[in-house]
């Protein structure tokens, strides 16, 4: 990679001042393209004079923004199917009485009471929820929407913001998973066939050690492609998205504690004196 191209990429990434835009949208796209980027610059760096200038111009003109938007679209496209498979939106599920493994009964009742007072709506008990689960879910979804709108201050709700970034990163990466795996495999295949299959016969005959079968650029490309392939297969999975989604949903509900009635100072003083 030339100095000018690297500087252009660094400058363009620096323009993503919003951590969510940068970490949840741009980084998944860059990880997806990383095997191809490494392959091009490790195998063809000496022939990239004009192309390097063109890449720099494209980056400056908004290529990274396009990649970030592509990652977001890929992640959002996967979301409805995931929620349906999991049994509903995570922020709705964690407010249900049934099959709730996120909150204990007492805590859930407390959060229901806080949200009911804030929304001016009565929350159902376990029996009422079982009798009409759709109506209950509609209320829980409304509560989740209200919480999201009330917690947009990223400084005040820093933990929630970090959980949101984590979920966005994993969701968007999962949305690009098939593309990323294809690019990893394609990069490995290209290293193998770019000089023709007959070249490998000559290499095997001339190689003194297994490492000498590949030149430096090929070894770099193969190593990065294999590492990224392992990452996409083992880390960017549906389970990793689910974990981040329910972590965010839990933290979102916990923010309602800010609306809980505070004990009076007089009562606290009296208890302290006693």
Q: What local confidence, expressed as pLDDT, does residue 264 receive? A: 66
- Does residue 262 lie within any of the structural domains? no
Dihedral angle sign, alpha carbons of residues 220, 63, 163, 170: negative
Number of domains in the chain: 1
- The encoded tokens of residue 272 equal 């302290």
**By residue range, what is the domain housing residue 18?**
3-87+155-253
Confirm if 123 and 116 have CB atoms less than 8 A apart. Answer: yes
Indicate whether 265 belongs to any domain.
no
Q: How far apart are the first and last CA of the chain?
A: 72
Residue by residue, pLDDT tens for the chain (274 residues) are: 555 555 656 666 666 778 998 899 989 998 998 998 889 888 887 776 656 666 655 654 567 788 889 899 999 999 999 999 999 999 999 999 999 999 999 999 999 999 999 999 999 999 999 999 999 999 999 999 999 999 999 999 999 999 999 999 999 999 999 999 999 999 999 998 887 767 666 666 666 666 567 777 888 999 999 999 999 999 999 999 999 999 999 999 999 999 887 766 544 554 554 4
Q: Are 82 and 238 in contact (CB under 8 A)?
A: yes
> Residue 42's pLDDT is what?
86
Question: E strand or H helix at 43, and its extent?
Answer: helix 27-43
Q: What pLDDT shows up at residue 270?
A: 44
> Does residue 7 form part of some domain?
yes
Tokens 């923010």 — which residue?
A: 255
At residue 274, the pLDDT reads: 46
Is 114 within a domain?
Answer: no
Establish if 266 belongs to a structural domain: no
pLDDT of residue 146: 97
Query: Residue 10: inside a domain, yes or no?
Result: yes
User: Looking at the domain assignment, is residue 105 inside a domain?
Assistant: no
Q: Is residue 92 part of a domain?
A: no
Which DSSP helix (H) or strand (E) runs through 101? none
DSSP string, 212-274: GGS-HHHHHHHHHHHHHHHHHHHTSSHHHHHHHHHHHHHHHHHGGGGGSPPPPHHHHHHHHH-
């Amino acid at each position: 990679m030339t100095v000018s191209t690297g500087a252009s990429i660094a400058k363009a990434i620096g323009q993503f001042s919003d951590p969510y835009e940068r970490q949840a949208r741009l980084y998944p796209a860059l990880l997806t393209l990383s095997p191809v980027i490494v392959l091009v610059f490790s195998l063809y760096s000496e022939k990239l004079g004009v192309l390097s200038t063109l890449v720099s111009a494209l980056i400056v003109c908004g290529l990274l923004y396009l990649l970030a938007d592509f990652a977001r679209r890929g992640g959002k496209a996967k979301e409805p199917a995931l929620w349906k498979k999991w049994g509903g939106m995570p922020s709705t599920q964690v407010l249900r009485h049934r099959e709730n493994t996120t909150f204990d009964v007492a805590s859930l009742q407390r959060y229901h009471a806080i949200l009911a007072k804030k929304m001016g709506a009565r929350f159902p008990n376990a029996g009422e929820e079982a009798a009409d689960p759709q109506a209950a879910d509609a209320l829980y979804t409304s509560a989740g929407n209200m919480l999201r709108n009330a917690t947009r201050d990223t400084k005040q709700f820093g933990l929630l913001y970090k959980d949101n970034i984590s979920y966005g990163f994993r969701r968007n990466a999962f949305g690009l998973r098939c593309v990323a795996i294809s690019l990893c495999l394609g990069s490995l295949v290209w290293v193998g066939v770019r000089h023709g299959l007959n070249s490998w016969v000559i290499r095997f005959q001339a190689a003194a050690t297994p490492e000498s079968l590949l030149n430096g650029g090929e070894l770099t490309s193969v190593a990065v492609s294999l590492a990224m392939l392992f990452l996409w297969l083992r880390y960017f999975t549906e389970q990793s998205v689910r974990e981040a989604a329910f972590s965010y949903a839990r933290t979102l509900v916990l923010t309602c504690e800010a609306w809980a009635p505070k004990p009076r100072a007089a009562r606290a003083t009296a208890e302290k004196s006693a």
